[in-house]
Structure 1
């Protein structure tokens, strides 16, 4: 079977399974739980179908490394345990009527997000259609950039993990954590460095489609574009929650770049130094 058809079948099965699981368990993070796994399957389908074309194998290995890291980070935060639902879904449920949220669950959480997961993987389709061309200098550059962004996201997530462990320990000891949100390390340069590195990896992944064909724009760029738009909405929603919870968050926003790491506008005064 054509690899795209195989991926569409897999995507359809995952979409149905995650939606049904959300209905049965009344937890709505099932797509989050497969987010780091499905792209690995999709890209390897193309790599195998190409008889292990060198570029597609490289792309599959990079996505596998991305997926292993993301799965580990999600697991240690309890995402795979019962009750490990993303806290933002509970906030959103409180703002919507039950029928409206169930429609949102079906159309956005289950169908749209699963479709997006497939789309971000589809530069592999462009590379598959151009299979046979040898790896070149641009492939090496793209692979190095992907790894660099992967390391950056690993560091950001580790800093966030260390901060939340410190915060939990302070709370358990009967103290009020101060500050209440992370402002040091990479989070001194960006309010969401992990978001930046995540998006950057998938734009680099699209770059392999360009390297394979020598053409800058393919329809498979849609995945990277839509992922960035998803992060725009996710960032706005997350920050609205943080602003309501922490009065000092506006000061942090005023001095810190929202996504792209950049020099802060003024010296921050966070009391916590995250372990790197």
Structure 2
């Protein structure tokens, strides 16, 4: 291996090595080490969610913190213009998602109460693996996956902020501008580049897509249950039982697709930081976060699809005509450029096939 290759490998994993080596040590800023502090917070939230979920039998405790913990991790890393922008964007994402979870009944008093994700009961009853019916196995599963994996994942998706922090700190040290304050770097538009701008625009775009999708789903479910409680006749997609209009006519899970895209986009900030500090490096260890997030959505999405298909057999036809996370090219182009008459005629296709 050449010297340059060795330097590149070290560069990719140096922030991770620093995170592990500095957990119990102080950095140059004695009172501010975002690596150790963020990992300590992660461990605290992991143990908290495990204990609370075990005691209350409500296994959606991680969901209550899903939109909050990445904000804290990003705020700990603010040290220059780039990390400030990153923290601001994560805060926008988190506040919107927190509100959406609140209006769905996710937050109640006492704080460990609130709506539980229906999938956990199904998984606990053996929908995923029969062995999870065993109480001891379920407790282990709760600690390792529900609390452990998901809390670690929430730390990992925010680690591009740690990479950006590290590169900024190295630059400050090289330039001799190190400040006693964790926020002591020079805040200047010259500290950010084109890739930062692209990442910012894409991040906000996907947050907007996620917000629209959540709103459409919330409106649909609210109206569906209003009709059911009022004993009104259900027609169209209300009769089918699931939303197929708006963004749900393009993707089966547009909000989940947007969530994954948000964190893939967030990773671009770490790429910009690496390019800023060490030249063009398109891959670094913080990519682990979005990769594991995509894996989580792949498996949880399949579970949700199977549950929905069992509840609504007509959902099979919807699966064939609409992509899950990526649009089917031909139907998508038809929706964009097809005539309005054709679009109107297609709205009732699932209902017609169900009647047949």
Q: TM-score, normalised by structure 2?
A: 0.72
Query: Which residue of 2 is the match for residue 92 of structure 1?
Result: 123
Uncovered stretches (5+) of structure 1, i.e. residues with no partner: none
Distance of 1:117 and 1:268 partners within structure 2: 38
- For 1:199-218, list aligned pairs within 5 A: 199-214=260-275, 215-218=281-284
Uncovered stretches (5+) of structure 2, i.e. residues with no partner: 1-31, 127-131, 172-189, 276-280, 335-345, 352-356
Is the CA contact 2:210–2:255 (under 8 Å) kept in the aligned structure 1? yes
Displacement of 1:270 in angstroms is: 6.7
Query: Which residue of 2 is the match for residue 75 of structure 1?
Result: 102
User: RMSD over aligned Cα, in angstroms?
Assistant: 1.7
- For 1:54-65, list aligned pairs within 5 A: 54-65=81-92
Displacement of 1:252 in angstroms is: 0.3
Distance of 2:321 and 2:204 partners within structure 1: 29
Query: Which residue of 2 is the match for residue 194 of structure 1?
Result: 255
- Pairing 1:241–2:304 present: no
Displacement of 1:269 in angstroms is: 2.2
- Pairing 1:232–2:263 present: no
Distance of 1:248 and 1:110 partners within structure 2: 34
Number of residue pairs matched by the alignment? 268
Change (3 A) 1:171 1:20: same
Displacement of 1:262 in angstroms is: 4.5
Bigger Rg over Cα: 2
Change (3 A) 1:254 1:56: same
Distance of 2:284 and 2:271 partners within structure 1: 8
Q: Secondary structure at the match of 1:216?
A: coil
Query: Which residue of 2 is the match for residue 171 of structure 1?
Result: 228
1:107 pairs, out of 134, 144, 148, with 144
1:2 pairs, out of 16, 24, 33, with 33
Displacement of 1:242 in angstroms is: 0.3
Distance of 1:151 and 1:261 partners within structure 2: 18
Compare relative contact order (CA 8 Å, sep 6+) and give the higher one, 1 or 2: 1
Q: Which moved more, 1:131-140 or 1:104-113?
A: 131-140
Is the CA contact 2:58–2:116 (under 8 Å) kept in the aligned structure 1? yes
Displacement of 1:68 in angstroms is: 0.4
- Pairing 1:12–2:78 present: no
1:38 pairs, out of 54, 60, 69, with 69
Distance of 1:34 and 1:83 partners within structure 2: 13
Change (3 A) 1:200 1:155: same
Distance of 1:268 and 1:241 partners within structure 2: 24
Is the CA contact 2:267–2:287 (under 8 Å) kept in the aligned structure 1? yes
1:124 pairs, out of 143, 161, 174, with 161
